[in-house]
Structure 1
Amino acid sequence: MIKHTTFTLERDFPVPPAEVFARWADPQSKATWFAGPKAEHELDFRVGGTEIAKGVNGEGEQLAFEGVYREIVPGERIVYSGVLSVGDTVATVSQTTVQFEASSTGTRLLLTEQGAFLDGHEEPEWRQTGCGSQLDALEKLISDAG
């Protein structure tokens, strides 16, 4: 069983695109809002570079996200592909595009994700909620900094 889906999340930030982009590019910053305090996180932010986040879900199962950066245009966009595994089982394969657009109040961020959700190991709604929570954490990090 495979479910295919695409969703887009939008957020507005009261800072310039370069500042929001920097929160994606900096390993320490990205670990704070993307992975959370109890997860392991590694980031090699360059085209061809990888991102790995490992943690445990609510049922105690090991989760691992492994992403590869396909395109990076500083201050404008990031494109990466990723695989989420539960234990040794591939749950989701996805492609994500993040756009940073200047707005009258700072930055409009658009995150679009296209995914193949395999055998019910992850549901599209769970992923959309998780991505939304990560963007909420990014908003808080930027708000607390400034």
Structure 2
Amino acid sequence: MRLTVLATPGHTSDSVSFHLPDDDVLLTGDMVLGRGTSVVTHPDGDVGAYLDSLDRMAGLGVAVIAPGHGPVVDDPAALLAYYRDHRLERLRQVQAALDDGAADAGDEDAVVEAVVQRVYADVPRDVWPAARQTVKAQLAYLRATP
């Protein structure tokens, strides 16, 4: 059995996935889940690296993703495309929240909270601590991206 270690930073800086090419399987740990989407932790996680890792994983063209949590994914291409589209949509929503006044909410924590309340209003509040981490990473990405 062959095993390839694939650096897939984004969720965290040290995220790795394991490709089993003979079985056409990718073990993704927390980078890709069988349900929901991954948090991009802050300050360790990085949205740009996350998007790049999704592209790298999609480029493998595997038949199955075996995530660290949740069920096995039998349509990896669709899930990876969804993850990418979801993250880009969230970035657009964060930018819109900033443009609509969240940027003026006060200190960094107040800005994060204003963005979470607007962008993640449809997400159960017990998920908001993870959303705050992702918003911090999204803000860092938006500030660094011209």
TM-score (norm 1): 0.27
Which structure's relative contact order is higher, taking Cα pairs within 8 Å and 6+ residues apart? 1
Q: Rg: which structure is higher? A: 2
